[in-house]
Chain A
Amino acid sequence: MKVKEMKREMITAKVMKTAPESPVNIERVSPFSQTRDEKVLREIAREVRKDIIRMTTEAGSGHPGGSLSATDLLVALFWGEMRHKPNDRYWADRDRFILSKGHGCPALYSVYARTGYIAHEILPTLRKLGSPLQGHPCMIHLPTLEISTGSLGHGLSVGNGMALAGRLDGKDYRVYVVMGDGEQQEGSVWEAAMSGAHYKLDHVCGIIDYNHLETEGTVEEVMDIAPLAEKWCAFGWHTIEIDGHNFDEIFAALDEAKATKGKPTMIVAQTVKGKGVSFMENNVGFHGKSATREQMEQAIKELDESE
């Protein structure tokens, strides 16, 4: 394993060296330390959202809407919940994180940068040739990732596999899988739902970013997934419904998940697509389209002025 890891590090180093320079102004990132202090987390989430807007505008494409809706969930996990060490990425006891809705990766890349896994300077290389920051997460390009994602309906099964391996190895690490609401339409999600309950994977915690919008419109119009919490409950999961932008509710749910034994937990988090930017909120137009430079300036201003 050691050799493989070293090889991976070398690949990243090589990729980063060739990554293109960016004209976008990058701020200094404050050192990472874990906290559940809501004021601090709000500040971090604001910076992550600004990163997302800048990265996707710089790339000229990407999925800002679903990145913004998942931001508070990711910030809560990385700063206030998960056991991990950014300076020891291969620590065997680390909690695992999988972004099954891989298109929301600008949020994850920003979180990786602000926790110190990757250099903040490379964020503007998103989606550009030679960048470790692929349009959908690829662990060959970015070994910091636990798994490559991007094709919906795969991540929860991978998480189950990691949890089974942890059980065999006598490890107590937990596995967090963030999924999309549109992703719930993939049949394989429900195969994974059955497996997770069947094997009583109480170290698995799924979180659904329920922002109610997908490429072609509202989830309700495209292919309704309601009643979602009831479905997961019926599949044998401990199910918790929360406001996915309320840190108190997020942490209460994560604590409840950790305390739940004998079955996995699914947190259904109600969110707002495009959260934090007025003209992106609940706007399906920003599912798979980035802001123009003008819109970017306005979005950054709004975020800076928000509480």
Chain B
Amino acid sequence: MVKLGERESTRNAYGVALAELGEIHPEIVALDADLAGSTQTRRFADKFPERFFEMGISEADMMCTAAGLAVSGKIPFVSTFVIFGAGRAWEQIRNTICRPNLPVRICLSHGGISIGEDGSSAQACEDFAIMRSIPNISVIVPCDAAETKALIHEIWDKPKSPVYIRMTRNKVPTILDENDQSFHQKFTLGKAVTLREGSQATIIACGQMVAVGIQAAEELAKEGIEVRVVNMSTIKPIDQDAIEKAARETGRIVTVEEHNIYGGLGGAVAEVVTERYPVPMRRVGVRDVFGESGSPDALFEKYGLTPKNVVKAVKDLVKS
């Protein structure tokens, strides 16, 4: 049970949702690369050992094995850390999952710098860019545990094409209300959700940066600056209409993401803004550097992924 206001990791919500779905749908299988305890596929493995495949530390093999299962009628959920799945096995995903357009669900955890103390080798901040540039695949970054749960239930068998879901290690505040009547409408693939209205600028965020965006909006409101906050959980296919609407109605856009400022959410939004309704933008994200060891909060502070920094970016735009 995901509770509003409490902190829970997206990977945990994923593991719970996958185990729930496994009960209903026998065609679901799961694969992991020696990280089932971390990615939470262990929950599925414990309930359905015959449908769980421990592949060892061999991500390339895992992706292609999933393709073989998918082409034989199974719906494989593949999990490991973002850096090993999206990073090391990118070419397997590109050529043997996306090129044949197979319904593999690539659900990777421990993305971004919030993996924390493990340091830069595992802090993947490039995955949005490299995954969204592959044809056929959808790219989703849930903002909290509630959205993760809803997404997994939503996308398990549709679209019939590959899906990439990026999750994180740390516990994040649950900002969406699971009991809200409109809950399921909020999680349509490719649809952005406006979480707060405002007319002077729009903050477009994904993942746990949505909560940072909301905090920034609250700070700005105290100073009389009203900004819209949009949860862009689907980076591909991106909600172009929501972006154009934000550009037309608020005239300024700030993107916030736990990813390199190159090629990620900021890049994807800028592509739409420049083509459909050019307005000034600022991108808040990791500024093309590798991370380091530290707690998630200390790293967010050092690398500028804070409400304070988002407030500054909005003010820059409002002043100019």
Contacts and interface: CB of A to CB of B under 8 A. Distances in A.
B96 interface: yes
B67 interface: yes
Interface stretch (B68-76, B217-225, B251-259, B263-271): B68-76
- Size range of the interface on A? 20 to 34
Given A147-B71, A168-B29, A168-B50, A154 B99 contact: no
A27 to B, nearest CB: 32
A192 B53 contact: no
A165 B100 contact: no
A95 to B, nearest CB: 13
Nearest to A155: B64
Name, among B56, B65, B160, the residue most crowded by chain A CB atoms within 10 Å (CB to CB): B65
Contacts of A257: none
Contact of A164 (B65, B95, B100, B160): B65
Given A139-B100, A140-B99, A188-B64, A165 B56 contact: no
Bin the interface of chain B by size: 20 to 34
A154 B96 contact: yes
Contacts of A161: 64-72, 76
Interface string A202-236: 00000000000000000000000000000000000
Nearest to A175: B68
Interface in B76-112: 76, 91-92, 95-96, 99-101
A28 interface: no
B99 A187 contact: no
B259 to A, nearest CB: 27
Contact of A162 (B51, B62, B68, B91): B68
A255 B51 CA distance: 30
Nearest to B50: A168
A146 B95 CA distance: 14
A192 B64 contact: yes
Given A4-B160, A194-B58, A154 B64 contact: yes
A153, A154, A155, A194 pick with most chain B CB within 10 angstroms: A154
B274 to A, nearest CB: 31
A138 interface: yes
A195 B60 contact: no
B50 to A, nearest CB: 7
A158 B73 contact: no
B76 to A, nearest CB: 8
Give the secondary structure class of B's interface.
Answer: helix
B56 A194 contact: yes
A151 B63 CA distance: 14
A187 B64 CA distance: 13
Interface string A130-167: 00000000111000001111110111011111111110
A139 B70 CA distance: 14
Given A1-B73, A140-B101, A147-B100, A191 B68 contact: no
A176 to B, nearest CB: 13
B71 A158 contact: yes
B104 to A, nearest CB: 10
B177 interface: no
Nearest to B33: A191
A147 B61 contact: no
B55 interface: yes
Interface in A159-195: 159-166, 168-169, 187-188, 191-192, 194-195
Contacts of B51: 168
B194 to A, nearest CB: 35
A159 B99 contact: no
A157 B59 CA distance: 11
Q: Which of B29, B70, B96 is most buried by chain A, counting CB atoms within 10 A of its CB?
A: B96
Contacts of B63: 157
Nearest to A189: B61
Contacts of A166: 72
Given A157-B64, A161-B64, A168-B74, A195 B58 contact: yes
A165 B74 contact: yes
Contacts of A151: 91, 95-96
Nearest to A100: B64
B73 A191 contact: no
A143 to B, nearest CB: 10
Contacts of B62: 157
B71 A164 contact: no
A150 B65 contact: no
Given A138-B100, A161-B69, A192-B61, 8 more contacts: A154-B92, A154-B95, A157-B60, A160-B65, A161-B72, A164-B65, A187-B60, A188-B60
28 contacts: A139-B100, A147-B71, A149-B96, A151-B95, A157-B64, A158-B65, A158-B68, A158-B71, A161-B65, A161-B70, A161-B71, A164-B65, A164-B68, A165-B72, A168-B51, A187-B60, A188-B58, A188-B60, A188-B92, A191-B58, A191-B60, A191-B61, A192-B64, A194-B56, A194-B61, A195-B55, A195-B58, A198-B56
Interface of A: 1, 4, 138-140, 146-151, 153-155, 157-166, 168-169, 187-188, 191-192, 194-195, 198-199
Interface of B: 29, 50-51, 53, 55-56, 58, 60-74, 76, 91-92, 95-96, 99-101, 160
